[in-house]
Amino acid sequence: MLYHLFDYLQETYNMPGAGVFQYISFRASLAVIVSLLISMVFGKRLIDLLRNMQAAETIRTLGLQGEEAKKGTPTMGGLIIIAAILIPTLLFAKLNNIYIMLMIFSTIWLGAIGFIDDYIKIYKKSKAGLAGRFKIIGQVGLGIIVALVLHFNDNVVVREQYKIDTADEAPADKTVKEINGQLMYFNDVKSNTTTLPFIKTHEIDYSKFLFWMDEDGANKWAWAVFMLVAIVVITAVSNGANLTDGIDGLAAGSSAIISVTLAVLAFISGNLIFSDYLNVMFIPNQGELVIYAAALAGACIGFLWYNSFPAQVFMGDTGSLALGGVIAVMALMIRKELVLPILCGIFLVENLSVMMQVSYFKYTKKKYGEGRRIFKMSPLHHHYQKLGYAEPKIVTRFWIIGIMLAIFTIITFKLR
């Protein structure tokens, strides 16, 4: 909103200082500050409100250290995170940008699913909450919507770069620019390509997965492959964040690290000079996602003010499903979804630990008549609790690993 206001003041009245809102870095900085203030200042009021409404999730008795102290702690604190994301985004981002519109929609969609789940757990006294199939339907539905919009919307394009020796080599309708001493012209096209780490070209076309089809058929149906990838990515990362939200500060801190990394990747992909230097596809109008990512990072960090050990509030599914989902959607937008197994390694390991534990237990029960376990408890962070590690130590070490994975994700752009 403020971007459009100051843009109008700049164009109409040439208002001094209004032009600063044109800079993404300035608006991203404001987004971080405002999201932090919302989380920290208004978070306390919302926590008091949740406590008065007796919005405390029932803590299961798992034999873990500190369980008794957690009983009665308000949940649904994800409402703080969602507010701290949406308000700065609405204030400082271009609201007519297709990427911003889709991120706002995704945040509300997943937040609503998580809210319904928390509401059922708290006020309907159902430990299971919203049935798993309805969560999956919601996540799959979002994956379909995101994939269709990103593939068919005319404003979602990739800018192809063509290097030339002289301006005369460019088509008459193309503007020639000089970048780092090299003459170039550009062409905005619809594309099925995405980023693939560790290979020289850094890109792969989804049509390549339809190798049994001819080129025209593969290009025609590449969107279906992308849709399947979008569904798997959104479902996996959303559920991974949900599983990670088991001890104080782990999900929020991990999401903050991932958000900062996505902000860097979005800035690179949306900046012509940096994308050319790193040989990364340039995606026009995508720089606005830096504002959203900045608000997301600020919201997660601000939430830690109350969620760090010992937590005064839990984010609940309202926050965890939304956090994982929007991280996945943003990665799809900047075409870095195939890098998520590295960047979201914490979420991935938490997911895998549950899958391995359940599968092995069922297998051994069928074979030996009694179920056996790989871990003392899953998800993985509970395994370390059972080993006697204190929550703050587990969380801090997971954060350190998350930072290492984030750094490695960024340097993959030079490892090929």
Which residue, chain included where needed, has tokens 């609201």?
95
The Cα 270–Cα 261 span in angstroms is 14
Task: Report pLDDT digits (tens) over 46-80.
Answer: 999 988 888 776 666 666 766 677 778 898 999 99
> Angle, nearest 10°, between helix axes 215-244 and 316-333?
150
Q: Residue by residue, what is the 3-state secondary structure of the chain?
A: CHHHHHHHHHHHHCCCCHHHHHCHHHHHHHHHHHHHHHHHHHHHHHHHHHHHCCCECCCCCCCCCCHHHHCCCECCCHHHHHHHHHHHHHHHCCCCCHHHHHHHHHHHHHHHHHHHHHHHHHHCCCCCCCCHHHHHHHHHHHHHHHHHHHHHCCCCCEEEEEEECCHHHCCCCCCEEEECCEEEEEEEECCCEEECCCCCCCEEEHHHHCCCCCHHHHHHHHHHHHHHHHHHHHHHHHHHHHHHCCCCCHHHHHHHHHHHHHHHHHHHHCCHHHHHHCCCCECCCHHHHHHHHHHHHHHHHHHHHHHCCCCCCCCHHHHHHHHHHHHHHHHHHCCCHHHHHHHCHHHHHHHHHHHHHHHHHHHHHHHHCCCCCCCCCCCHHHHHHHCCCCHHHHHHHHHHHHHHHHHHHHHCCCCC
Which of 12, 31, 1, 17 minimizes the C-alpha distance to 290? 31
The Cα 4–Cα 94 span in angstroms is 7
The Cα 149–Cα 221 span in angstroms is 15
Residue ranges per domain, the chain? 28-154+195-411
Task: Report pLDDT digits (tens) over 374-416.
Answer: 999 989 999 999 998 999 999 999 999 999 999 999 988 776 6
pLDDT of residue 185: 77
Tokens linked to 396: 């801090």
CB 284 within 8 A of CB 345: no
CB 77 within 8 A of CB 303: yes
Which residues make Cβ contacts (< 8 Å) with residue 280, sequence separation at least 6?
Answer: 195, 202, 268, 269, 274, 413
> What is the value of pTM for the model shown?
0.93
Tokens linked to 240: 């991974």
The Cα 243–Cα 240 span in angstroms is 5
Q: Name the average pLDDT for the chain.
A: 89
The Cα 282–Cα 309 span in angstroms is 41
CB 399 within 8 A of CB 257: yes
Which residue, chain included where needed, has tokens 């130590």?
393
Q: Print pLDDT tens along the chain (416 aa).
A: 777 776 767 777 777 777 787 889 899 999 999 999 999 888 889 999 988 888 776 666 666 766 677 778 898 999 999 999 999 999 999 999 999 999 999 999 999 999 999 999 888 877 778 888 999 999 999 999 999 999 999 999 988 777 788 777 777 777 777 777 778 778 888 888 898 887 767 788 999 889 888 888 888 899 999 999 999 999 999 999 999 998 999 999 999 999 999 999 999 988 888 887 777 888 998 989 999 999 999 999 999 999 999 899 999 999 999 999 999 999 999 999 999 999 999 999 999 999 999 999 999 999 888 889 999 998 999 999 999 899 999 999 999 999 999 999 998 877 66
Tokens linked to 382: 């509970």
The Cα 107–Cα 130 span in angstroms is 18
pLDDT of residue 13: 75
CB 391 within 8 A of CB 309: yes
